Amino acid sequence: MSVPFSMEWRIITEGRERRIDETNNTFEIEFDGYKLFPIDEPIDVKRYPSSEQIGTAKVVKISLYENRTICTYQLISLHNVN
């Protein structure tokens, strides 16, 4: 039985991110399906697929279970506050 997954090169938040550590600017977001992200490498963060980049993050942890992905990332730069 095959399990579909996608390799992502940016984080699209759609406003669903949740701050889990204010000191380290660490956030968590949950996605439907299985998604893989580069770990410990800078990647773009966008609000929506067609919007401008709002920051740069490093993914620090990925959890896959029951056709869901939880991505924990550290925001390392912010381009826009809105």
Q: What fold is seen in the domain 5-78?
A: Ribosomal Protein L25; Chain P (2.40.240)
What local confidence, expressed as pLDDT, does residue 1 receive?
60
What local confidence, expressed as pLDDT, does residue 79 receive?
85
How far apart CA 74 and CA 53 sit, in angstroms, is 15
Domain residue spans in the chain?
5-78
How far apart CA 71 and CA 82 sit, in angstroms, is 22
**Whole-prediction pTM:** 0.89
**Residues in the chain, pLDDT under 70:** 1-2, 80-82
Q: Which amino acid is at 20?
A: I
Q: Half-sphere exposure (CA, 13 Å, Cβ side) for 56?
A: 6
